[in-house]
């Protein structure tokens, strides 16, 4: 199955990915045209601010936002968005972060929107103020958060409102941005994994978001270490100033006008809080090309292929004793179809947990979805499997589950 890989050369076990795009095991396969462009990018020099200005034009065109910026992942985009909301065009505040003395630094978030990724807000120096409850889960009809709770939390200490876009999040984004606009507070939206559909590129900007963050390494299939931010010109300028390399002689510093307006700042800022999250010319070019290809790609063809692969895998496994499979078709937002494998450990040769551990310890390692082991369910997602790998996964899964 497959040729010798660079991981074989290094003696590092490679992974057959039957769980979809997961950062821990390398995310997605980069688009070949993006990879080729990166190789060409690596051989020449370019001013990174010019390249960011070019990316800004593309991001603005595809999202409808005023401007855009390429970051080293969606999470870095969240950190930089928080830094921009706090510092604005104040060069002293930029220098001071993550120390926020004297700078409005609270980011309000509905409690049910909190995730591990919001560590990025705090890394910029912000304090997260979460509002509402988890009452929705009680099933009493009570909501998790009301708009007035968000509005009441806004004060002169507020830097932004953080909003995580998921199919289940409430209140609706447009209602939150209305309240925020009334108080002149920017709304930062984490939409890292909300592609496809392509229409989501512009949807959250249309709903009034001030900054929206997407991952470049998920469905866009750009370099793993990229993300993009789309939003207001002034906030993107602040991101650029806090991210670009700033060891510049001020007399000759002439950054691209559409990204940085020299009239609005006191002088050349020092290296900002974003400097440790640099984006190289190769990654920038890779993301630009991958984003263009993502826009050109046919979502139906992919969806049909993933559905038929999932159907094939489901049929090939369901005959094992103690195993029931269920095919879950990919929708508009969940990218690919998946197979749920329900394992009855009294009848099958092993439990769902033992299956996951067994597959992971093989060479090559096989990763299946392990998010629902508490229900004795393993999921198989075909989106990152190549042709030969599909049958290999079926064979290994059957071998573990079948009594000899």
Ligand X SMILES: *Cc1c(COP(=O)(O)O)cnc(C)c1O
Other CB atoms within 10 Å distance of the CB of residue 319:
10
Cis peptide bond upstream of 98, omega within 30: yes
Cis peptide bond upstream of 378, omega within 30: no
Residue nearest to ligand X (CB): 73
Smallest distance from ligand X to CB 263, Å: 33
Which residue, 23 or 199, has its beta carbon nearer to ligand X?
A: 23
The yes or no reply on residue 104 touching ligand X (CB under 6 A) is no
Which 223-252 positions form the footprint of ligand X (CB under 6 A)? 227
Which residue, 66 or 190, has its beta carbon nearer to ligand X?
A: 190
CA neighbours within 13 Å on the CB side: how many for 81?
A: 39
Which residue, 124 or 343, has its beta carbon nearer to ligand X?
A: 124
The yes or no reply on residue 215 touching ligand X (CB under 6 A) is yes
Q: Name the one range near ligand X by CB under 6 A: 36-44, 59-67, 70-78, 92-100.
A: 70-78
The yes or no reply on residue 312 touching ligand X (CB under 6 A) is no
Residue 87 and residue 240 in contact, taking contact as beta carbons nearer than 8 Å: no
**Distance separating alpha carbons of residues 51 and 329, to the nearest angstrom:** 39
Which residue, 34 or 323, has its beta carbon nearer to ligand X?
A: 34
The yes or no reply on residue 75 touching ligand X (CB under 6 A) is yes
Q: Name the one range near ligand X by CB under 6 A: 68-76, 105-113, 141-149, 382-390.
A: 68-76
Smallest distance from ligand X to CB 279, Å: 12
Instruction: Give the per-residue contact string, 16-45, with ligand X (x = CB under 6 A; - = no).
Output: -------x----------------------
Which of 117, 307, 312, 392 binds ligand X (CB under 6 A)? It is 117
Smallest distance from ligand X to CB 308, Å: 27
Which residue, 85 or 317, has its beta carbon nearer to ligand X?
A: 85
Which residue, 128 or 327, has its beta carbon nearer to ligand X?
A: 128
Smallest distance from ligand X to CB 114, Å: 11
Reduced to 3 states, what is the DSSP secondary structure of residue 16? strand
Smallest distance from ligand X to CB 292, Å: 19
In 3D space, the residue among 339, 357, 346 whose CA is nearest the CA of residue 394 turns out to be 339
Residue 140 backbone dihedrals phi, psi, to 5 degrees: -95, 0
**Distance separating alpha carbons of residues 377 and 387, to the nearest angstrom:** 24
Q: For helices 387-401 and 352-360, give the axis angle rounded to 10 degrees.
A: 130
Which 125-184 positions form the footprint of ligand X (CB under 6 A)? 164
**Distance separating alpha carbons of residues 267 and 21, to the nearest angstrom:** 42
Helices (H), 130-280: 147-153, 173-182, 200-206, 233-243
Taking the alpha carbons at both ends of the chain, their separation in whole angstroms is: 25
* Residue 204 vs residues 72, 173, 295: alpha-carbon distances, Å: 21, 8, 17
Residue labelled with tokens 């269920």: 326
Which residue, 193 or 350, has its beta carbon nearer to ligand X?
A: 193
Binding site for ligand X (CB under 6 A): 23, 73-75, 115, 117, 164, 190, 192-193, 215, 217, 227
């Amino acid at each position: 199955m497959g040729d010798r890989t660079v991981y074989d050369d290094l003696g590092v076990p490679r992974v057959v990915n039957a769980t979809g795009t997961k950062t821990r095991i390398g995310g997605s396969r980069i688009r070949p045209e993006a990879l080729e462009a990166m190789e060409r990018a690596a051989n020449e020099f370019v001013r990174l601010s010019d390249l960011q200005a070019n990316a800004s034009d593309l991001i603005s065109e595809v999202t409808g936002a005023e401007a855009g910026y390429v970051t080293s992942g969606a999470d870095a985009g969240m950190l930089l968005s928080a830094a921009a909301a706090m510092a604005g065009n104040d060069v002293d505040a930029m220098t001071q972060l993550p120390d926020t003395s004297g700078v409005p630094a609270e980011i309000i978030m509905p409690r049910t929107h909190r995730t591990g990724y919001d560590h990025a807000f705090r890394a910029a120096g912000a304090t997260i103020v979460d509002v509402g409850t988890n009452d929705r889960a009680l099933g009493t009809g009570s909501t998790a958060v009301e708009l007035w709770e968000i509005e009441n939390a806004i004060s002169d200490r507020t830097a932004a409102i953080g909003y995580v876009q998921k199919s289940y999040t409430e209140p609706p984004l447009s209602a939150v941005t209305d309240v925020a606009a009334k108080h002149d507070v920017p709304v930062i939206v984490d939409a890292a994994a909300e592609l496809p559909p392509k229409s989501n590129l512009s949807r959250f900007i249309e709903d009034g978001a001030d900054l929206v963050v997407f991952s470049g390494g998920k469905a866009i299939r750009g370099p793993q270490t990229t993300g993009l931010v789309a939003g207001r010109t002034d906030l993107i300028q602040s991101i650029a100033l806090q991210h670009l390399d700033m060891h510049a002689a001020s007399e000759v510093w002439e950054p691209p006008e559409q990204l940085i307006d020299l009239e609005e700042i006191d002088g050349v800022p020092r290296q900002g809080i974003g400097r440790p999250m640099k984006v190289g010319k190769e990654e920038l070019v890779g993301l630009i090309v991958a984003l263009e290809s993502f826009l050109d790609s046919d979502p139906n063809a992919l969806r049909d292929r993933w559905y038929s692969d999932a159907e094939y895998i489901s049929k090939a496994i369901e005959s094992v004793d103690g195993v029931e499979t269920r095919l879950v078709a990919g929708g508009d937002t969940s990218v690919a179809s998946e197979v749920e494998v329900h394992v009855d450990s009294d009848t099958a040769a092993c439990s769902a947990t033992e299956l996951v551990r067994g597959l992971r310890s093989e060479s090559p390692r096989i990763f299946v979805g392990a998010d629902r082991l508490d229900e004795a369910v393993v999921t198989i997602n075909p989106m990152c499997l190549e042709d030969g790998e599909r049958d290999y996964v079926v064979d290994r899964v059957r071998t573990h589950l079948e009594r000899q």
